[in-house]
Structure 1
Amino acid sequence: MLYRQLDKYEWVSLIISLILTIFIFLQFSINLSKVSKKYFCQFEKFDCPEQIISFGEKYLINSNNQIKNENNRKYFQNYKGKAIEDFRRGDYFHAAENFNLAFQQFSDPETLIYKNNAEAAKLEHQYIEIAVSVPISHEKESDIAQEILRGVAQAQNEVNSRGGINGKWLQVGIADDKNDPEFAKKVADEAIKNEKIVAMVGHNASSISQVVAEKYEKAQLVMITPTSYTLNLNNYNYIFKIVPNVNRLAEKLKNYFLNTQSKHNLLICYDRQEPVSESFKESFASSVENYDRCDVSQPDFKAQKALLEAQQSSKLNADSLLLAASISNIDSFINLVKANQGKLRLFSSSTLYTEKTLKEGKNYAENMVIVTPWHQDAFPKNPVVESFVKDAKSHWKKTVNWRSAVAYDATKVIIQGLKKIPQQLNTQELRQQLQKQVKNTTNLCGATGKISFTLGKRNEPLAFIIKIVKDENSDIGYKFQLDPNVNTNSIIEPQCS
């Protein structure tokens, strides 16, 4: 074999080829890594950090601890795991089938949303996308996130089962904003840059909604928050609220307190870190002369100590306790309920209108009075509300609360707006037209009654008084019951369509 020495030009060519080969290999490795994480990340192994909004590509809700039957849990995990793998591969036929089988084992809202998304994807892009942002991974709020998702899932399933929006099915992407302001901004950025997403349902906490509102406004993407009570979301063009301002609820509960209690010696516990909690406290206290306050956000806060000091105070001698509760510190407020042991009469904002209060408060929460924007019995003979409640029990095997109802209505407002828009528009035009339709919403009859807006604010600010009472037919043993005597004049039979 003959050998010869390479000349300088051949050496240059060889070196360039080697560099190009290394570069191509590195690029391939990087892309393969991205693909692997996106399509093969597994629950509790990879969190798919780049997949902020999921349409079916990954788990967000861990439902295992909610499924009591071991066989149901095993089959649910198996079917849902297969469905997610199918969805990642683009096998939407089998994804829809397996999501449906998983939902039959346990009816969680994420699974129903993903099932509808897979069914929509089978239609070869004949679908419209929206997103919903809830605080799933925030441990204290996971139950509340699911309450919101139930309403969104029910509205999506309802419209798709009826043929979709002008023939196009609705897909819903789910985002976990973690109740963290900085991560919520990432969720907003992701929704805005996704050219298929035309609206956002969310966010949950008022403090989070306030942080991201300007982003949606600037990008001209409609955001309808179902649960934010803040006063600081008015006067936007693209931001809308389903619930009334916090002052409306505080006023309703304050009037009940003043009219039903012979003594008005009140301890008010609130969360200084949450503006809505503080606003509720200030609005309620404006007509109460003898009261003291405790801030649950203090590092050294102790429920028993706060209650003992209020009861033993010669100046206050408290006989009632108002909980201007916040989601971020919900455990502290429930600890107050338990530490009280039924001694002080209990009053609360709607934050504690959640199953968590019944489960953990139990007999100590009995007779607690709560103000809420919705209760299923507050709209007698309203066919839309009756249908919503009936379908909710069928889907979720339980009674839903106000968060599910307002989330259902937020989604329904978007659906109605989209039905009135020509579908041959590009994304930006569609977003702009949707804003006009939502702004001009009139006489829409939802689960919470008639819906219309002025400057993004709901025109029908309903508020109802409910109590926690015993319920022998419930596994928990307690339920939230509408007070018919207080709400007789507040129940509205809306004229809507």
Structure 2
Amino acid sequence: MNNKKENIRLLVSLGIAGVMVAGILFIVGRFSSSISKNAMYDPPSPLLPNSPFPEGVSLGAKILVTADKTADKEAGVQAFASNDFATAVTKFQSSLQSNRNDPESLIYLNNAKIAKSQVLKVAVIAPIGLTLNEAKELLRGVAQAQDEVNNSGGIKGLPLAIQIASVDKFDKIKELDDQFVKDSSLVAVVGFGRDEKIYNDKGLVRISPGSPTTQSRQDQTQSGQTRYVFYASPDRDNFTQAIAEYIVKKERRTNVAICLDSAQAERSQAIKKQYADFIAKAGGKVTDTECNLSAQNFRASDFITKAITDGAEALLLNPRPDKIDAAIDVARENKGRLALFGSQQMYGEKLLKFGQGDVKGIVLPVPWHQNANNNAGGNNSFGDKAIKLWGGQVSPRTAIAYDAMQVIIAGLKEGITRQSLQKALSNPNFSATGATGKIQFSPSGQRQGGVFLVKVEPCESSQSCSSSTGYNFVLVQ
């Protein structure tokens, strides 16, 4: 009988122990799962320059901007790929001496200098195969920020490495999103993305150089989860309101025709409604004239004729970056008949180079201009340092990319993990200082701040021209 009681006690004890072990394993499993999302990406990590990268992604072993290829640059990437980093440094320095305006070479030079170090690594998505000039403008801002922080000792003693990802089609951005969130060596991403949710779900900070889309704003309102996506450019409403009020209140043009790229009908209609609402609030209206720059049978002459017939006094162009040529065709066909205005996407060397006198007088909203805050920092402002580094004035796109990097750098100074970075940026008291001044975010990750207006004007013979086209973007006072 005693043996039987002892056996029962033993079985009960084993059962209780089994339950306890199962409970512990469950808790450990849940904790490990949490760790896998929230702490497995803790840097610092070695640069590992020879790790296998997808096509179009490089730390220094591939030339992605082939337009800036030089013999020294080719020798530099070959040396980098062979782990001969001393030679890579020398060759990239030589390449920059012949082409100082090449941001890819500067990034590769900085990466080669730290190739055997523990680093903090940031990826940048650049539309090199879609809009090269815009991609290089973005890369200049990233390169300038990397150069400055590494030359000043890094972040908590760790240098910053930049991994460039080239995009030649919009579908590739989704592939990069998937790859980056799985890359345990990355602490953050700079660039446009197709899917905010994957960054929020996987816990990787992405700083977009643009403004949130209408859909993104709706997602932000509906989602209560931790936010990992932030925007370095002011909200789209700020740009739309600024240009709408200028058209109606300053220029006294109350009937406005709008020309859009309607490749995505739903998004296009949302943008048109946004313009229409702000123009109406200012006291004007949008004409019924239809304009789709992506239409196969689109004819600029037909649109201008119809717009004038509909009573338009002003023309507002809002193309995608890869449709700026079509927008310039519209401006050329206009022949000065309607006052010209445009979206912030039109700002760039391409508009000046191919638009010339056809776009003279066009007014655009931008997040930064060389003369908007040229007193900030005395002779050591972002614009002044950019001129010394690149040999000429830079664009708002460069300034915003620089700001995106300053946000990451300031956040990493609070802590060098993905999670500590997110926590720092989400703090209501967080701020960073960038090209455009003080950078702060709303609870939904949107950049707080205003915009400026610029106008295309011919360069004056008595003054230096920052553009080689003979035309400049002049700040509207």
Normalising to structure 2: TM-score of the pair?
Answer: 0.81
Query: 3-state SS of the aligned residue for 1:469?
Result: strand
Q: 1:222 aligns with which of 201, 205, 209?
A: 205
RMSD over aligned CA atoms reads 2.1
Query: 3-state SS of the aligned residue for 1:412?
Result: helix
Deviations 1:183-205 (A, max 9, x none): 112212222222211100011xx
Deviation at 1:263, TM superposition (A): 4.1
Deviation at 1:281, TM superposition (A): 2.5
Separation in structure 2 between the aligned mates of residue 52 and residue 435 of structure 1, nearest angstrom: 27
- Percent of pairs identical after alignment? 33
For the Cα contact (< 8 Å) 1:379–1:385, is it kept in 2?
A: no
Deviation at 1:251, TM superposition (A): 0.9
Match of 2:72 in 1: 79
Separation in structure 2 between the aligned mates of residue 194 and residue 49 of structure 1, nearest angstrom: 10
Please say if 1:190 is aligned against 2:153. no
Alpha carbons of 1:384 and 1:94: their partners in 2 closer, same or farther (altered >3 Å)?
Answer: farther
For the Cα contact (< 8 Å) 1:451–1:458, is it kept in 2?
A: no
Please say if 1:281 is aligned against 2:281. no
Q: 2:243 aligns with which of 253, 264, 283?
A: 253
For the Cα contact (< 8 Å) 1:133–1:175, is it kept in 2?
A: yes
Match of 1:213 in 2: 196
Q: 2:139 aligns with which of 131, 149, 154?
A: 149
Alpha carbons of 1:328 and 1:455: their partners in 2 closer, same or farther (altered >3 Å)?
Answer: farther
Normalising to structure 1: TM-score of the pair?
Answer: 0.78
For the Cα contact (< 8 Å) 2:261–2:293, is it kept in 1?
A: yes
Separation in structure 1 between the aligned mates of residue 187 and residue 134 of structure 2, nearest angstrom: 24
Q: 1:323 aligns with which of 317, 320, 340?
A: 317
Q: 1:479 aligns with which of 444, 469, 472?
A: 472
Matches within 5 A, 1:309-388: 309-311=306-308, 313=309, 316-383=310-377, 387-388=381-382
Corresponding letter in the other structure for 1:127: V
For the Cα contact (< 8 Å) 2:261–2:294, is it kept in 1?
A: yes
For the Cα contact (< 8 Å) 1:373–1:464, is it kept in 2?
A: yes
Query: 3-state SS of the aligned residue for 1:301?
Result: coil
Separation in structure 1 between the aligned mates of residue 391 and residue 180 of structure 2, nearest angstrom: 32
Separation in structure 1 between the aligned mates of residue 442 and residue 360 of structure 2, nearest angstrom: 38
For the Cα contact (< 8 Å) 2:110–2:161, is it kept in 1?
A: yes
Match of 1:295 in 2: 292
Query: 3-state SS of the aligned residue for 1:328?
Result: helix
Separation in structure 2 between the aligned mates of residue 94 and residue 276 of structure 1, nearest angstrom: 49
Deviations 1:197-219 (A, max 9, x none): 1100011xxxxx3x222222221
Matches within 5 A, 1:127-142: 127-138=119-130, 141-142=131-132
Q: 1:201 aligns with which of 179, 190, 195?
A: 190
Separation in structure 1 between the aligned mates of residue 90 and residue 120 of structure 2, nearest angstrom: 21
Query: 3-state SS of the aligned residue for 1:445?
Result: strand
For the Cα contact (< 8 Å) 2:442–2:448, is it kept in 1?
A: no
Separation in structure 1 between the aligned mates of residue 195 and residue 422 of structure 2, nearest angstrom: 17
Corresponding letter in the other structure for 1:282: K
Corresponding letter in the other structure for 2:237: N
Query: 3-state SS of the aligned residue for 1:172?
Result: strand
Match of 1:178 in 2: 168
Matches within 5 A, 1:66-145: 77-106=70-99, 107-121=101-115, 124-138=116-130, 141-145=131-135
Separation in structure 1 between the aligned mates of residue 391 and residue 179 of structure 2, nearest angstrom: 34
**Structure 2 gap segments, 5+ residues each:** 1-48, 221-225
Deviations 1:101-141 (A, max 9, x none): 101111211110000000111xx322211100011112xx1
**Structure 1 gap segments, 5+ residues each:** 1-37, 40-47, 65-75, 204-208, 424-429, 485-497
Match of 1:233 in 2: 216
Deviations 1:231-262 (A, max 9, x none): 33343610000112212211111111111234
Separation in structure 1 between the aligned mates of residue 387 and residue 303 of structure 2, nearest angstrom: 40
Please say if 1:411 is aligned against 2:399. no
Match of 2:441 in 1: 453
Corresponding letter in the other structure for 2:198: K
Please say if 1:438 is aligned against 2:425. yes
Separation in structure 2 between the aligned mates of residue 155 and residue 202 of structure 1, nearest angstrom: 15
Alpha carbons of 1:219 and 1:384: their partners in 2 closer, same or farther (altered >3 Å)?
Answer: farther
Separation in structure 1 between the aligned mates of residue 271 and residue 346 of structure 2, nearest angstrom: 14
Match of 1:463 in 2: 451
The number of residues matched between the two structures is 407
Alpha carbons of 1:165 and 1:276: their partners in 2 closer, same or farther (altered >3 Å)?
Answer: farther
For the Cα contact (< 8 Å) 1:304–1:339, is it kept in 2?
A: yes
Deviation at 1:86, TM superposition (A): 0.5
Query: 3-state SS of the aligned residue for 1:342?
Result: coil
Separation in structure 2 between the aligned mates of residue 243 and residue 149 of structure 1, nearest angstrom: 16
Corresponding letter in the other structure for 2:294: S
The higher relative CO (CA closer than 8 Å, separation ≥ 6) is in: 2
Separation in structure 2 between the aligned mates of residue 150 and residue 228 of structure 1, nearest angstrom: 19
Match of 1:10 in 2: none
Deviations 1:411-437 (A, max 9, x none): 11111111221x5xxxxxx11111111
Corresponding letter in the other structure for 2:243: L
Separation in structure 2 between the aligned mates of residue 276 and residue 401 of structure 1, nearest angstrom: 27
Separation in structure 1 between the aligned mates of residue 379 and residue 211 of structure 2, nearest angstrom: 22
Separation in structure 1 between the aligned mates of residue 227 and residue 73 of structure 2, nearest angstrom: 39
- Greater shift in the superposed pair: 233-242 or 80-89: 233-242
Match of 1:3 in 2: none
For the Cα contact (< 8 Å) 1:177–1:184, is it kept in 2?
A: yes
Separation in structure 2 between the aligned mates of residue 437 and residue 322 of structure 1, nearest angstrom: 39
For the Cα contact (< 8 Å) 1:200–1:223, is it kept in 2?
A: yes
Match of 1:393 in 2: 387
Corresponding letter in the other structure for 2:419: Q
Query: 3-state SS of the aligned residue for 2:473?
Result: strand
